[in-house]
């Protein structure tokens, strides 16, 4: 079994040039580690055999043979990361696995990952955080929590979260058993599935957001469904409920916002730019706190100003004052 310091789990679903750009970004800012990137390619992402072969030739990159259907707010990201974790556990001995997204870019060297996991925040179940409230009504999660000594709901933005190999094995096994992948393996042709309701929900959200409609109201439209961002709940909740955490570490308590305050006992990786009205607010790179080494969202467009600036940083030309484009 191949030895690695870090394995990155990366789901991708569009734009090959952006994927190569992100891989070069990882190589520049994380190349001081012996690392691997496990890529999951969405079934809706049409790539030729030649293009997939080019990805496979990229240094430290492997393609997960599993290709699931992806949507928006339908739990697919959790299942995709589970599949990537299973692949990594089977093929590598590693110290930590880090979850990434296709719109994350590093802006400085990845520091030493401290502890066995991080980062997390505890959420108040009496607040209006949509993901947290839906998690309390999740029967699959509740059934699994009944087998645990404790029942502690915790949340996180999965982007930039990491676990040690031992903890990841236990968590992934628990989620694999309770969170089936059949919903994302339909035999319909991908181009048909792409236009079904599972993606129409996301399209509707983006259309309403651009029109100025309150996205919090949009969530009310989903209230009667089972749809929520399960990836923001399952790993963190089971980590605490299975008592894998260090009880001496005090994690921040928040109402579920992505920019939760830090605990000093873990490494912060990704600074989330989802703030302001309808989850959009411009910020410059110089405003990113020093204890972060990556940012999100960076638009999946190779000519996006922020992406261009960060790419220049990776070539040694460190320039700032770029604005995050949350496209």
- pLDDT above 90 covers a percentage of the chain that reads 36
Strand, coil or helix: what is 107?
A: coil
What pLDDT does residue 115 have? Answer: 79
Handedness of CA 206, 208, 214, 216 (dihedral sign): negative
Q: Which helix (H) or strand (E) holds 35?
A: strand 35-41
Numbers of helices and strands, H then E, in the chain: 11, 12
Average pLDDT over every residue of 33-53: 90
Token pair listed for 223:
């209230």
Q: What is the pLDDT of residue 235?
A: 92
pLDDT of residue 76: 87
What number is the average pLDDT over the span 87-111?
95
Q: Is the pLDDT of residue 326 over 80?
A: no
Q: Can you name the residues that pair with 63 across neighbouring β-strands?
A: 39
Is the pLDDT higher at 242 or at 246?
242
3-30 pLDDT per residue, tens: 999 999 999 988 899 999 999 999 999 9
- Note the pLDDT tens digit of each residue in 247-301: 766 665 554 444 444 445 578 888 877 554 344 455 578 878 888 899 888 889 9
Q: What is the pLDDT of residue 302?
A: 93
Q: What is the mean pLDDT of the chain?
A: 78
Q: Assess contact for 132 and 234: CB atoms under 8 A.
A: no
267: left (phi over 0), alpha (psi -120 to 50) or beta: beta
Report percent pLDDT > 70 for the chain. 70
Query: 10 Å Cβ neighbour count for 301?
Result: 15
Q: What is the mean pLDDT of residues 188-198?
A: 50
Q: Indicate if the pLDDT at residue 132 is higher than 70.
A: yes
pTM of the model: 0.83
End-to-end CA distance of the chain: 39
Mean pLDDT of 205-216: 52
- Do 29 and 106 contact (CB within 8 A), yes or no? yes
How far apart CA 326 and CA 321 sit, in angstroms, is 16
Whether the predicted pLDDT of 195 surpasses 80: no
Better-predicted residue by pLDDT, 101 or 212: 101
pLDDT of residue 276: 46
Most confident of 23-37, 40-54, 202-216, 279-293: 23-37
Q: What mean pLDDT comes out for the span 73-95? A: 92
């Amino acid at each position: 079994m191949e030895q690695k310091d870090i394995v990155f789990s990366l789901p991708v679903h569009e734009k090959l040039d952006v994927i190569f750009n992100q891989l070069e970004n990882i190589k520049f800012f994380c190349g001081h580690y012996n690392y691997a990137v496990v890529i999951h390619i969405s079934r809706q992402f049409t790539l030729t055999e030649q293009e997939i072969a080019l990805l496979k030739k990229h240094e430290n990159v492997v393609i997960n043979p599993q290709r699931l259907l992806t949507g928006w707010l339908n739990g697919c990201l959790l299942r995709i990361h589970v599949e990537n974790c299973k692949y990594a556990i089977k093929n590598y001995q590693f110290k930590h696995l880090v979850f990434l997204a296709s719109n994350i870019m590093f802006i400085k060297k990845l520091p030493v990952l401290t502890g066995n996991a991080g980062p997390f925040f505890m959420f108040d179940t009496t607040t209006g955080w949509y993901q947290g409230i839906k998690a309390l009504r999740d029967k699959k999660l509740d059934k699994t929590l009944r087998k645990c000594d404790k029942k502690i709901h915790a949340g996180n933005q999965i982007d930039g979260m990491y676990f040690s190999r031992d903890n990841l094995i236990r968590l992934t096994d628990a989620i694999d058993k309770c969170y089936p992948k059949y919903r994302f393996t339909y035999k319909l042709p991908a181009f048909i599935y792409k236009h079904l309701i599972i993606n129409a929900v996301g399209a509707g959200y983006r259309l309403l957001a651009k029109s100025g409609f309150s996205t919090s109201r949009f969530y009310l439209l989903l209230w009667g469904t089972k749809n929520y961002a399960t990836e923001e709940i399952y790993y963190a909740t089971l980590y605490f409920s299975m008592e894998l955490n260090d009880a001496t570490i005090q994690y921040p308590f928040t109402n579920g916002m992505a920019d939760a305050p830090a605990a000093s006992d873990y490494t912060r990786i990704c600074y989330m730019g989802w703030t302001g009205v309808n989850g959009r607010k411009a910020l410059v790179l110089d405003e990113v706190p020093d204890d972060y080494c990556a940012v999100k969202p960076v638009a999946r467009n190779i000519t996006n100003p922020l992406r261009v600036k960060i790419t220049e940083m990776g070539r040694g030309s460190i320039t700032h004052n770029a604005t995050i484009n949350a496209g």
